[in-house]
Chains A and B, each alone.
Chain A
Amino acid sequence: MAEVLNRTATRQPTWNTSGFVTEMQSNELNCATEQVGNYFLNPNWDNSMDQSDPFESALSSMVSSPAASNVLPVSGENVMMRELIGKLGNICNSGDISPQFSIKPNTNTGSANASFNSTPLNSPPRLNLSMVNLPAAFSADPGFAERAARFSCFSGLNDPLMDSFKLSGNQSIKVDGSQSIKNSPMEANSPENAESGVSKEDSSVSQQIPARNDAGTRKRKSIPRGKAKEIPSPAAADAKVATENGESNSKRSKQDGSPGNGNEKQNKENSKPPEPPKDYIHVRARRGQATDSHSLAERVRREKISERMKFLQDLVPGCNKVTGKAVMLDEIINYVQSLQRQVEFLSMKLANVNPRTDINMEALLSKDMFQSRGSLLHGIYSMDSSAPTFPFGYQPQQGLHLNSGIPNATETQFSMKTQGFQLPSIDGFTDANPHVGSIWEDDLQSIVQMGFGQNQPQGYQGSIATGQVKIEL
């Protein structure tokens, strides 16, 4: 946790929200913590998202340790808090989060936030100001959009921002750094607050201010999820997080779609903002696009899926040039099939091998690390009759190698294996070789063909002599 905070600390300029209102706090405290989470979006989100994994773990640890008190010394770590809130939004959505947003009255020292009862919120809150208040305020205020528009005049909000306010009453509003702060204080209080808030805000913080009160639907994870989108998520865990985020986003978008919602939610997914590029993660209905909850949810889901496909693309070798979901899917299917066949081959080979009684497991394990290709040649000629030999393609080795080992799976081999490799399904081993050999010859420069099962070494030699084997020297 601390490290996370530090990370964000370095990145975020101090976000002084001292202008924030105490009143806001009191009112809105009753909002679920989820809302809070959604509100704050770190503009440098992607930076923080780089450490998404530790973040997640930190967050989960936070969740598990419900700390009632706010923790953060006000050092302007609002951003971080926001990030955390966003991430943990989902966790906190359990609904039992009776808002303990005991928002302390403006403490410039920034002790405000602590009131997040939800565990995740507690740790991060380093809000300078009652950042906490922000979400609360947002969520609770039904006329937020209107007020925001109104308040915009105070601080001279950017046009795009205001446009968004006007455009979509229910749409999530992208809050620009300075403006977001503006909005938050504004709606709650007098313009002065807004102005002060505005002036205070120096960092371009994008806030996600889902005013949604839905318990369990607001998932702050959408924030990390959106960022995860931008950052290739190498790990499946990331994808999982992304999934959750995506779901939360979809939920949020659904809520966005339903008008008349008292809470203004400015959920936005930073897919393709029509405005100048901002590094948010919001769900936003693009201009001219359908804004009903279904299509928004669909879009979120599609983005999730494409994220996963990208990750799979990295896993499957040779899929970088492949474009399109259908082709990619076929490639994945082929690869999985080839891997499964390889396992079967290997287990057949192991079934045929003559186990040596003096094999030591540790030795084997250490051997695993040792690539002993050259010794395979010798091993082949010393095979006894029951030694398994599988037809495998192999990469040309230096020197003479009659390779009975299984070559490294490469793309070519992979594709080769997918071309009607019938061996695993054959119960009788003996007669598959000729066919397989011919198939493989076509694909590889040199193929060593070996018989199955009870090939005697002479038989093995004989099969080599049948001309189906090309040995590359």
Chain B
Amino acid sequence: MNPSSLKSRFATRFLRALTQIHARKPICPSSPTEIFRRYRRIKAAADKSMAYSVRSRRTWTGAVLWKLRSRSCGRRSVKTSTLVKSQQAIEKKTRHEKQNKNTTTTTGGHGVGFGVEATASELRELVPGGEAMDYCNLLDETAHYIKCLTTQVKVMKKIADFYSL
């Protein structure tokens, strides 16, 4: 395994976090609530490790980290205001595109023709930080995000297999 690959970087970080999480000794380690809490923590650790492990900072990594931080600090309205701004940016862009193309933009990413490209809102929801990007960059981010997700899944699978031995 390449010691400096994304895979190994993520694996080390994630394992470190995992051992930390498992090192906590709650009162009742096997209760569903406790398991659920651990699940949330592990998932957050996985996302965080992945976001930190990429070499080139991407929009989605920043969005992931930001979400995690805001969540840990409690839900705040900062996020909503940011989202509102991004929505406005997107609307402006789509309006401009409409003028240029005279096509009707469809929502939800479903549709045929060029209109679907302008919004692709479903994809935007999936990819963190995807709300405020134009379609081209969104596809870029999606590609990188998919690559990182597959790495994440692979590593976590192996860890889970190992743990379950």
Q: Give Cα distance in the complex from A401 to B148, angstroms.
A: 30
Identify the closest chain A residue to B162 (Cβ).
A367
Q: A43–B135 Cα gap in the complex (Å)?
A: 31
- Give every chain B residue within 8 A of A243 (Cβ-Cβ): 136-137, 140
Known contacts: A308-B139, A364-B15, A429-B32. The answer to whether A339 contacts B153 by CB under 8 A is: yes
A372 touches B161 (CB 8 A): yes
Within 8 A of B (CB), among A438-465: 453-454
Contact of A339 with B39 in the complex, beta carbons under 8 Å: no
Interface of A is mostly: helix
B163 touches A355 (CB 8 A): yes
**Size range of the interface on B?**
35 or more
Whether A347 contacts B156 by the Cβ 8 Å rule is yes
Nearest to B145 among chain A residues (CB) is A336
Query: Is A330 in contact with B109, judged by CB distance below 8 angstroms?
Result: yes
Binds B, one of A64-72, A75-83, A263-271, A321-329: A321-329
Find out whether the CB atom of A361 lies under 8 angstroms from the CB atom of B35.
no
Q: Which residues of A contact B132 (CB under 8 A)?
A: none
Q: Chain A residues near B144: list those with CB within 8 A.
A: 236
Chain B residues positioned under 8 Å from A453 (CB to CB): 30, 32, 35
**Which B89-127 residues have C-beta < 8 A from chain A?**
100-101, 109-112, 114, 116-117, 120, 122-123, 126-127
In the assembled complex, the CB of B102 is this many whole angstroms from the nearest CB of chain A, namely 10
Contact: B42 with A350, CB < 8 Å? Answer: yes
Tell me, in angstroms, the Cα distance from A311 to B141 when the chains sit together: 12
User: Smallest CB–CB gap between B31 and chain A, Å?
Assistant: 8
Q: Is B79 an interface residue (CB 8 A)?
A: no
Which listed residue (A335, A364, A380) contacts B159, Cβ 8 A?
A364
- The answer to whether B116 and A326 have CB atoms under 8 Å apart is yes
- A349, CB-defined interface residue at 8 Å: yes
Asked if A386 and B135 sit within 8 Å, CB to CB, the answer is no
- Cβ-neighbour of B126 out of A304, A333, A365 (below 8 A): A333
Contact status of A305 and B135, CB under 8 A, knowing A368-B11, A406-B160? yes
Q: Is the CB of A340 within 8 A of B126?
A: yes
Out of A343, A361, A367, which one reaches B149, CB within 8 Å? Answer: A343
A9: CB under 8 A from chain B? Answer: no
| CB–CB B109/A387 < 8 A | no
Cβ of A63 under 8 Å from chain B: no
Please tell me which one of the listed residues B30, B120, B156 contacts residue A454 in the complex, with CB atoms under 8 A apart. Answer: B30
A332 and B156 contact, Cβ closer than 8 Å, known pairs A324-B112, A379-B164: no
Asked whether B30 lies within 8 Å of A385 as measured between CB atoms, the reply is yes
CB 8 Å contact bits of A239-253 with B (1 = contact, 0 = none):
110010010000000
Are B160 and A376 within 8 A (Cβ)?
no
CA distance A262 to B15 in the complex (A): 62
Instruction: Judge whether B126 and A240 touch: CB under 8 Å.
Output: no
B3 to chain A, nearest CB (A): 9
Residues on B with C-beta less than 8 A from A355 are 18-19, 22, 163
| A192 on interface, CB distance cutoff 8 Å | no
- The segment from A114-122, A182-190, A283-291, A294-302 that touches chain B is A294-302
Determine if B162 and A364 form an interchain contact, defined as CB atoms under 8 angstroms apart.
Answer: yes
A469 in the interface (beta carbon within 8 A) = no
Chain A nearest CB from B23 CB (Å) reads 8
What B residues does A375 contact at CB under 8 A? 165
- The answer, yes or no, to whether B146 is at the interface (CB within 8 Å) is yes
Q: How far is the CA of A144 from the CA of B155 in the complex (A)?
A: 60
Given A347-B43, A365-B1, A406-B160, are A339 and B150 neighbors across the interface (CB < 8 Å)? yes
Q: Is the CB–CB distance between B139 and A350 below 8 Å?
A: no
Cβ of A342 within 8 Å of any chain B Cβ, yes or no, is yes
Contact partner of B160 among A349, A359, A380, CB < 8 A? A349
Q: Which of B114, B147, B150 contacts A302 (CB 8 A)?
A: B114
Chain B residues with CB below 8 A from A364, complex form: 11, 15, 159, 162
Asked if B61 is an interface residue, CB under 8 A from chain A, the answer is no
With both beta carbons as reference points, the residue of chain A lying nearest to B123 in the complex is identified as A333
Partner among B12, B100, B109 whose Cβ is within 8 Å of the Cβ of A365: B12
Judged by a CB distance under 8 angstroms, whether A215 is at the interface is: no
Query: Beyond A326-B111, A343-B152, A346-B153, is A427–B160 a contact (Cβ under 8 Å)?
Result: no
Evaluate contact between A368 and B159: CB separation under 8 angstroms.
yes
With a cutoff of 8 Å between Cβ atoms, the chain B residues found around residue A304 in the complex are: 136
A356-400 residues with Cβ-Cβ distance < 8 A to B are 356, 359, 361, 364-365, 367-369, 372-373, 375-376, 378-380, 383, 385-388
Of listed A243, A335, A348, residue having the most chain B CB within 10 A: A348
User: Given A298-B100, A336-B123, A350-B159 in contact, is the A376-B164 Cβ separation under 8 Å?
Assistant: yes
**Are the CB atoms of B153 and A342 closer together than 8 Å?**
yes
A337 surroundings in chain B (CB, below 8 A) = 126
| A353 interfacial by beta-carbon distance below 8 Å | yes
| B16 neighbours in A (Cβ, 8 Å) | 361
A316 within 8 A of B: yes
Q: Does A416 reach chain B (CB closer than 8 Å)?
A: no
13 contacts between A and B (CB under 8 A): A304-B136, A312-B139, A312-B142, A326-B109, A332-B146, A346-B153, A347-B43, A352-B39, A361-B15, A368-B1, A376-B164, A388-B164, A406-B160
| Minimum-distance CB pairs A-B, first 9 | A355-B22, A308-B139, A351-B39, A351-B38, A346-B156, A347-B43, A339-B149, A353-B163, A347-B42
